Amino acid sequence: MTFHWMQLVYALVSLFIVLNVGLIIQGIVRKIGARLGRRHGIRWYQLYLDLFKNYAMRSAVSHGIMFYLGPVFRLSGGIGLFLFMPVIYGSVWFQNFSGSGDLILLTYFIFFGTLGMALGAGESGHPYSAIGITRGLSQTTAAEIPLILAIIAIAVQYQTLSVTDIVAAQQGGILNWTLFTNPLATIAALLGFLGSMMRSPFDVVMAPQEIPVGPPTEFHSNFLAVLQTNRAIFPMAKTILYVNLFFGGATNWPVLIIKVFLLYMWPVFIGVAFPRFRVDQSIRWFLRIPTLIGILAILFI
């Protein structure tokens, strides 16, 4: 693969778009959630304000070098994941650096930030951080199983692990989407998706009641701002991956944004309807129905 400087420019442009989309969608979702709960809620652009405020703060204190590197790892993980993803199908430029690696790279790169953040939060010495991380890691291992099963199922179905090729195979009509050609894999993956979006019933990682905010407990001011930036990018990147794999991808930005918004609402709906699981409960849950569906998906390829 030859590198072209324009690639970098386009990658930064798409990164900027996704950051804004992420902030706005999350603002809107919080507004909707508040209204459903008969509260007034925040302004839809509140997240922008938080972000600007935190970036503007200068009174930073640090627990040590790894504490410092935690947010760096986290944001690099989010941006990296996005940068290795083909965004707009058919576009020459909005492919980011997806030529560096395939679906497997994406599934493993998700952990880059997680692990780095875990290290950074660990150095703060706050037990809540560590507790949140063990919960998060434990839950993730189980939630990944249905996803892995689904990925293997579609890899076998399309005989490729290249995301671009998988999107290409779904072109030509809504019935060509994996959602319809391989519904079982899609269901398994969507159930797994719930586990990675930090929403109820799988939000014990942040656990606002018992352990104030989980891993980021000790992060403040612009450390927190970096994390907030990532919170806008990372879920979007994951959602785009699902759109690419199961919902036909997107050939232009509006379609992508609509699909991402709709898919993003899936864990939101589940989240407002179901109460929270403990970690051991969620591990068992992921290893039962979703895993079974995943196995069926492979059996019925």
Partner 1 sequence: MTQPILFIALPLLATFFTGLTGKRYGKFQSAVMNLALAGTVLISAYYVSAFVSGTRQPYTASTAGSLPPFSIAFRMALPEALTLLLINGLGLLGLSALKTTFRQKGTLSAVTYLLYFMALNGIVLTRDLFNYFVFIEISSVALAGMVLFKESGRCLKAGFSWMMATGVISIFLILSAILIYVRTGALDIDNILLTDPLVLYSGSAGAFFLFLALIFELKPFPANGWALDVYENASPAVSAVFSGAGITAGLFALYKFLPIVGDRWLFPLIIIGLVTFLFSNILALKQHIVNRMLGYSSVGQAGLIAAVFGMGVLSKEDMFFIAASLMAVHALAKGGLFWLSHHTGYTSVYEWAGIRHKPLFIFLLGFYIFALLGFPPFPSFFAKWSLISALAAGPYGWMMAAILLGSLLEAAWMIRWFGFAVKGNEQTANEIQKTPPVYTLVPALLLLGLILLLNRSRFAFILTNAWIPLLFITGFFLLDFLPARVKNTFMIGGLGLYFYFLYPTLTEFRLIFAIIFLLGGMILLLAGYHYKGRRIGFYPSSALMYSGLVGLLTAGTTVEFFFWWELMTLGSYFLILRGKKSLPHALSYFLFSMGGAYTMLSGFGLLAAANQGSLALETLSSGGPFQAVIFILLALGFLTKTATVPLHIWLPGAHSEAESDVSPVVSAVLLKAGVFGLILLMAGMGPQSLGRVNLYTALGWLGAITALIGNLSAIFEEDAKRLLAYSSIGQLGYVLFALAMMNHLGWLTATVFALNHFLIKALLFLAIGGVVMRVKTRNMYEMGGLIKKMPLSFISVMIGIIALSGVPPLTGFAGKWLSYNATVLSGWYFQGVIINFAGLVTFLYCFRLIFTIFLGQLKDQHRQVKEAPFWMMVPQIILMGVILFISTVPNVALKPVGTFLTRYFPEHALVWDGPMARSLYGYWNGYMIMLVTGVVFAAVFFWLFFINRKAVKIKQFNIVFAGERPSRPELTHFAYNFFAPYQKALGFLVAPVSTDFWNRLSEGTHAIAGFIARLFSGNGQSYVIHQILFAVLVFFLVLGGI
**Scanning residues 190 to 229, which ones bind partner 1 (CB under 8 A)?**
212, 217-218, 222-223, 226
Among 100, 171, 176, 252, binds partner 1 (CB under 8 A): 100
Residues 245-264 binding partner 1 (CB under 8 A) are none
**Sign of CA pseudo-dihedral 75, 78, 84, 85:** negative
SS3 string, 178-221, reads: HHHHCHHHHHHHHHHHHHHCCCCCCCCCCCCCCCCCCHHHHCCH
Handedness of CA 53, 55, 59, 61 (dihedral sign): positive
276 binds partner 1 (CB under 8 A): no
Residue 1 interacting with partner 1 (CB under 8 A): yes
Q: How far is the CB of 286 from partner 1 (least distance, A)?
A: 10
Query: Contact letters (x/-) for partner 1, 13-52, by CB under 8 A?
Result: ----------------------------------------
Residue 91 touches partner 1, criterion: CB under 8 A: no
Q: Which of 28, 42, 119, 255 binds partner 1 (CB under 8 A)?
A: 119
Candidates 66-74, 231-239, 251-259, 268-276 — which segment interacts with partner 1 by CB under 8 A?
66-74
| Alpha carbon distance 28, 30 (integer Å) | 5
Nearest distance from residue 148's CB to partner 1, in Å?
Answer: 5
For partner 1, the closer CB: 190 or 268: 190
Tell me, rounded to whole angstroms, the distance of Cα 285 from its chain centroid.
20
> Which run of H or E residues covers position 113?
helix 103-123
Nearest to 120 by CA among 237, 238, 226: 226
What residues between 127 and 186 interact with partner 1 by CB under 8 A?
Answer: 127, 130-131, 133-135, 137-138, 140-142, 144-145, 148-149, 152-153, 155-156, 159-162
Instruction: Please say whether the dihedral angle defined by the alpha carbons of residues 133, 134, 135 and 140, taken in this order, is positive or negative.
Output: positive
